[in-house]
Amino acid sequence: MADAATASPAAAGSHARLVGCTCIVASAAGFGAMPILAKLAYAEGVDLPSMLFLRFALAGVLMAVLMRLRGLRWPHGRTLLLLLAMGGLGYVGQSFCYFAALQHATAGLTALLLYLYPAIVTVLAAVLARRGLSLLRLLAVAAALLGTAMAIGGSLAGSPLGILLGVAAAMIYSIYILVGERVTPQAGAMPSSTVIMLAAAAVFGLMVCWRGPAFPASPIAWAAIGGIALLSTAVAMITFFAGMERLGAADAATLSTLEPLVTVILAALFLGEQVGGWQLAGGTIILAAVIVLARSQPTAPQSQRR
């Protein structure tokens, strides 16, 4: 009986970790599909502010309806203010820096700089939360970053401004994730995602009003926007927060390096882009890092060690 009682918490922890990994993989798949859908929308004449406004507005309204049907409560007080800041400042700031970087650096360099965030999150989480970092977990983070660089491929060139903007996008996203790790458990994955989406939609809505809208004018464009709002925003954000609740910010960020691999695979399938040997090797390294993190157990915080 004692052995069963001892094994039960460990089994529950392993199950929660498996569920968390599954959620992050689903999130990475949703986010990874977004560039493909965005290219379809761009080709149909939708501009960036209009696309981002529709992305967050449609997803936010859908999530608000689901919250109503499920009887979930809206966040309030300090939690609500933090979520509004995450959406209106964090998500908007990260998006602005990322897409501005694309104007001063190649897509490969910009994407690689953004994916510095798993390493940044891991280090910041260790410093701020005093979480231990095993050598195996550090190697997994390094391998995921290396695999991302190889999977992206292409020319890695850019101006100092482009590099600065790319690093800024990674830093903002890292802070966003760490704040979300603390706030999400208080409000829940769905309410948190809903508030963040609506806050971002409000900011991008102001941009659309200022610049003038360029909304979809064809069924293909609306289908692309619908996919971005549903799969690449609502599903991707909810599963990310749900996974982060079970894994922590550092492992969730590292597992999310599957996202560019998904993008490369979908681009090859639907856009006819070729996949080279370096990309296949990079994808293999990313998958290996993901498997290591999925099977490893987190190191206890320093304050809990004896």
Does a structural domain hold residue 149? yes
pLDDT surpasses 60 at 305: no
Res. 43 pLDDT band, cuts 50 70 90 = confident
Residue labelled with tokens 């689903």: 26
166-180, 215-229, 273-287 — most confident range: 215-229
9 domain residue, yes or no = no
DSSP-assigned states of every residue in 58-119: HHHHHHHHHHHHHTPPPP-HHHHHHHHHIIIIIIHHHHHHHHHHTTTB-HHHHHHHHTTHHH
pLDDT of residue 41: 86
Q: Which residues contact 47 (CB under 8 A, 6 or more apart)?
A: 211, 214
Q: How many domains does the chain have?
A: 1
Amino acid at 70: R
**Whole-angstrom Cα distance, residue 170 to residue 149?**
15
Q: At what angle do helices 277-295 and 258-270 cross, to 10 degrees?
A: 140
Give the Cβ contact number of residue 295 at 10 Å.
12
Percent helix / strand / coil, the chain, rounded to 5: 80, 0, 15
Q: Which residue has the higher pLDDT, 53 or 158?
A: 53
Once rounded to an integer, what is the mean pLDDT over residues 160-184?
Answer: 84
pLDDT digits (tens, 9 = 90+) for 127-159: 776 666 667 767 777 777 777 667 666 555 567
Question: Does residue 246 fall inside a structural domain?
Answer: yes
- Domain residues for 75? 19-297
Question: Residue 285 falls within a domain, yes or no?
Answer: yes
At 306, the pLDDT band (50, 70, 90 cuts) reads very low
Q: How confident is the model at residue 304 (pLDDT cuts 50, 70, 90)?
A: very low
pLDDT digits (tens, 9 = 90+) for 264-277: 777 777 767 666 67
- Residue 53 and residue 208 in contact, taking contact as beta carbons nearer than 8 Å: yes
- Round to whole Å and give the CA distance between 306 and 297: 17
| 63-77 residue pLDDT tens | 999 899 989 999 988
* Position 184 in a domain: yes
**Is 12 a domain residue?**
no
Beta bridge partners of 295: none
Contact 120, 170 (CB under 8 A): yes
Residue 1 lies in a domain: no
Q: Which position has the token pair 């809990």?
A: 304
pLDDT at 58: 94
Is-contact 110 166, C-beta < 8 A? yes
Whether residue 306 is contained in a domain is answered as no
